Chains A and B, each alone.
Chain A
Amino acid sequence: MKNLKKLLALLVTGLMLIAAAGCGDSAGSGSASKAASGSGSGGKQITMGFSQIGAESEWRTANTESIKQAAKDAGINLQFSDAQQKQENQIKAIRSFIAQGVDVIAFVPIVETGWDTVLKEAKDAKIPVIVVDRDVKLNDDSLYVAKIGTDSVAEGKKVFNWIDEYMAKQNKQPRSGNQYNVVILEGTVGSSVAIGREAGFKDAMAAAQDGSKYNILASQTGEFTRQKGQEVMESFLKSDRDKIDILFAQNDDMALGAIQAIEAAGLKPGKDITIISIDGVKGMFQAMIEGKSNCTVECNPLQGPLLMETAKKVLNGESVDKLVYVDEGIFPADVAEKTLPERKY
């Protein structure tokens, strides 16, 4: 019954959504969290305008929650705006932040380009801008004060290093020939994350002493989705069912799809084929507990505290690095069960 009510509520919201879309007004003002407990940085309370791209995945939801929570903890007044996957909404939101005269603006850019004008406006209004999570391409890098995010090249490197160590420790032998055969499920073609993760992996492989023990057998895009991850893995298995030793999926979802394809082919994921992926979503931990995957390298969405810290530093006139990376951990299967309850996303 509960679900039925939920459905009904959804339907109503859905209709409202349609109506709203019809009116052409979707400059999401969002829910401004007024809760600003405590004194924070002493005298004047800091106000931050933050534009999130929308709710696309569990990961993004965790990202949003982290920022909201961190703002509350730091006593910063957060003006939150949801762009519903549209750049124009983000630009509108940033303009309204400028008009409101917030102290600092932070945003997760939905695309890399097209920000010069609006960021120039912010700079003219002497409001510092912090770019969160994703990259931007600007003609003038002084338009923002700092970028906070994840380091996809480092993630790729961690993946290779973990595999290398794991293979040596487990004393695993190649299933055929004398090299470990690796297949890669790439992310969306051309996305900065996919490029970074692949480069990091290959760099680490080239730099490693025993890099020659590894052979990249096939690499194909799985577009960061389960469907495609599964379909592409299915195809890999048809060609080289008995050769593949290692699967590197550039995100967890593709790995989860691929696990099903491996099972369908009559192999044991995590045993016959060693699987490592990036992100660290809950579903992956579940799979690791079941022994179907070996490791996930975290891509940390909990960027809130670092963002707030950086913002305060900037406003206090302290110098900050242009690039600030969040901490990212490695979670192999043996710690999965212990870690799962602590996972926030």
Chain B
Amino acid sequence: MEKLKQFTSSSLFLPIVALAVLLIFNAVFVDGFLHIQLTEDGRLYGRLIDILNRSSSLVILSLGMTFVIATSGIDISVGAVVAISAAVVCTFIGGRGDGIPEHPMVLAMLAAVGAGVVCGIWNGLLVAKFKIQAVVATLILMTAGRGIAQLMTEGQIITVYYKPFSYISGTIPGNILPTTIFIAAAMVLLVVFLMKKTSIGLFVQSVGINPTASRFSGINVTLVIFLVYAFSGLCAGVSGLIESSLIRAADANNAGLNMEMDAILAVALGGTLLSGGKFYIGGSVIGAITIQTLTTTMYALGVSADQLPVVKAIAVIAICLIQSKRCQEIFDKWKARHMQPDNPEEKAVNKA
């Protein structure tokens, strides 16, 4: 009982409920939704794997976005940075039809992630050092970024035929899960490690809640804000690798298109307020997976193309409503009425 109560009042409760509702809906209405099978070449195959695979890049983006939003900023350039990163990795490896890379893939990957970090540093400088409003500062790269990516690819879609490039998003022979899931997990672990072993989390929250008081306490506010944008750039860089590897190509026009909005939505669904302050990494991760699940659901149900945006919008509204303050109050009241400790049914369930 205690544990249940603790869980229902935790910050992760509502995001998890929203995701669970969606998954249950799928399990009921989509044939074989929960079905996972092992293919002949030893890979797990099924819709749930697809969801994890496709949500990875959004999960990674929303990690960076969570920190940015926690400092009461916003980074709307991540979609464009994804395109830049994708363009860099593909131009480095090159689109040779015979599948021979022009540069080693490791170098290309480092260059792509590096390009992401450079973009992040640019945003960080504008916001932290020059004190430009975050939306305006990142808008610059949002609009210019795709142009830069276009210039790199010379307006073409560069297709990479070098086989190992597909391993980033596909499955490395011998593994049963797509690499993306490992990359996303590694990024999440990195963040968890940073949260546990450093004070970045505390400083970010502190700066987001009250920058003046933070400065008066000796925190280098400029540095914290700068780092947060640089990290968001790093995340976008990694995300760009995945996005380009998925299609084995750099599509400067479409890579990461509208992903910044999805990332912001994921963070919001995760319970982090857009006004900054307290943030919930776990919530953002679940939020990102929820968004991808929603997209997959739409395809699985065969919602026709012209109705897709409307149905998706309705679902998003419903999810937001579940997590709204008012709903929380109603739920709390319900909980107070129905979850009395002297309720025999509950006790029985709990014991079992």
Contact = CB atoms under 8 A, between A and B. Distances in A.
A239 interface: yes
Contact of A266 (B45, B102, B299): B45
A156 to B, nearest CB: 16
B156 A260 contact: no
Interface in B127-145: 140, 143-144
A308 to B, nearest CB: 24
Interface string B62-90: 00000000000000000000000000100
Q: What class of interface size applies to chain B in its complex with A?
A: 35 or more
Interface in B148-172: 148, 150-152, 154-157, 159, 161, 166, 170
Nearest to B152: A10
Interface in B306-328: 306, 308
B92 interface: yes
Contacts, number: 117
Contact of A239 (B88, B143, B300, B305): B300
Interface in A218-261: 218-221, 223, 225-228, 230-232, 234-236, 238-239, 253, 256-257, 260
A239 B147 contact: no
Contacts of B305: 186, 189, 219-221
B247 A61 contact: no
A266 B144 contact: no
Contacts of A57: 155-157, 253
Interface in B9-68: 30-32, 39-41, 45-47, 50, 54
Contact of A238 (B32, B151, B154): B32
Contacts of A13: 151
A141 B344 CA distance: 78
A108 to B, nearest CB: 15
Contact of B140 (A18, A56, A234): A18
A230 to B, nearest CB: 6
B251 A227 contact: yes
B253 A266 contact: no
A60 B155 contact: yes
Contacts of B246: 227, 230, 260
Interface of A is mostly: helix
A31 interface: no
B215 interface: no
Contacts of B88: 7
Interface string A251-284: 0010011001000111000000000000001010
A56 B254 contact: no
A266 B46 CA distance: 12
A56 B251 contact: no
B97 interface: yes
A64 B32 CA distance: 48
18 contacts: A6-B91, A10-B151, A14-B148, A17-B147, A58-B156, A219-B305, A220-B305, A226-B157, A235-B47, A235-B296, A239-B300, A256-B247, A260-B246, A264-B45, A266-B40, A281-B157, A283-B159, A286-B161
Q: For the complex of A and B, list the 4 residue pairs with the smallest distance between their C-beta atoms, beginning with the closest.
A: A221-B305, A55-B155, A235-B299, A226-B247
